[in-house]
Amino acid sequence: MNISHLQCLKCGAQEPFNFDLNLCPRCGIGGEDDPSILDVHYHYDKAAIEFKASIEKQNGNSLARFLPLLPLKTFIDVLPTGNTSLVPAAQLGFDLGFKNLWLKDETRNPTRSLKDRATAVFVGMAVENGLPEVYCSSAGNAAISLAGYSALAGLKAQVFVPNNVSKTRLDWLNRYGANVHVSSGNYDQAFAESEEIGKTKGWYSRNCAYNPYLVEGKKTVAFEIAQQLNFDAPDVVMAPVGDGCTLAAIGKGFRELRQIGLIDRIPKLIGVQAARLNPLVSRFEGEALKLEQTKASSIAVRKPRNALRLARELQESKGMLVSVDDEEMLVAQKELAQKAGLIAEVTSAASLAALKKLANKFTGEERIVIVVTGGRTDEA
Ligand SMILES: [Zn+2]
């Protein structure tokens, strides 16, 4: 493994690698303030040589080719993750005035969302460290992902979901044989319950907002996008934002590729929230705070936990956050289906809705990638 240390994004203190360390031991959970998120650092000189060799030698589809920049000793057999298509969306691009618009179709992952990338790494760590019982809280996708991957790996999955979780999502969880805990409250309450019970029971946490290693799995989507574009990085990458982990992970992935010399610049990150539930847009862009119900259930997070990580990546990439109405997401969802043949969940259509909103801020020459994060279309 090439990990050098963990570093607190709040106080800057360094910690040695520990598979079970979530938040910074000095800063703790942070109370009303941000949780003290840890970031994984590698010996980049060594990793650079191994990473390039691995990509060249294997030229394969498995996330195993990215092992030199992952927190794993080996890459165990998991459900076949990643290697999703980067689809040129010519009609959508033409209609919006863009010459180069791609859709990174993460709905093609085994349980239909980008969360599978994080779970692939997480399950590897659980197996590697002999941890048979695992847990997470989730609006649906992360829980389903954990349930599916645990089934193949022989782990016991404990999943915590909000009270408004759809019947379809519950059905997926039950089919995979997960132990489902339905909270009496929203996602934020389910999260708190999972942390309390999970810690008491000694289960291993797949809560991406806290566990620093999940981001390492998610960043592989950036590695893949870059590889699919022959390491000529796009100008803009867009994704929906709930806790902030996914977009921050994408930013980290591109930064690491620049650090090891595979790309020479990083794309501008654009994160999208629902206008009705916009804590991060409010915090970073000054929009009036709204905490209402939204159909974008996968980003319905009232208290984002990974804001520090997101803030760093937005700053590094000169990125921005934007909000869109539910109605705009529903129109975009229909357009993804009817102009690109891609069935996406409402949350995952947020980025296209945002691109339409921002179109006049671009020249049309930019190379833009929209990460379509999930394809389960059963949101409330
Ligand atoms: Zn700290």
Find the range with the poorest average confidence among 32-36, 53-57, 183-187, 235-239.
32-36
pLDDT class for 59, splitting at 50, 70, 90? low
- What is d(CA 161, CA 181) in angstroms, rounded to the nearest whole number? 6
What DSSP element (H or E) covers 247?
A: helix 245-259
Residue 319 has what pLDDT?
98
Q: Which residues of 195-205 are buried (b: 16+ CB within 10 A; e: fewer)?
A: beebeeeebbb
Close Cβ partners of 52 (under 8 Å, ≥ 6 residues apart): 260, 262
Per-residue model confidence as pLDDT tens digits over 226-245: 999 999 999 999 999 999 99
pLDDT class for 380, splitting at 50, 70, 90? low
Residue 374 burial (C-beta neighbours within 10 Å; 0-12, 13-18, 19+): buried
> How many other CB atoms sit within 10 Å of the CB of residue 259?
16
Per-residue model confidence as pLDDT tens digits over 308-325: 999 999 999 999 999 999
* Cα of 195 from ligand 1 centre, angstroms: 19
* Cα of 151 from ligand 1 centre, angstroms: 35
* Cα of 283 from ligand 1 centre, angstroms: 21
* Cα of 33 from ligand 1 centre, angstroms: 12
* Cα of 312 from ligand 1 centre, angstroms: 15
User: 38 has which bridge partners?
Assistant: 8
The pTM of the full predicted model, rounded to 2 decimals, is: 0.95
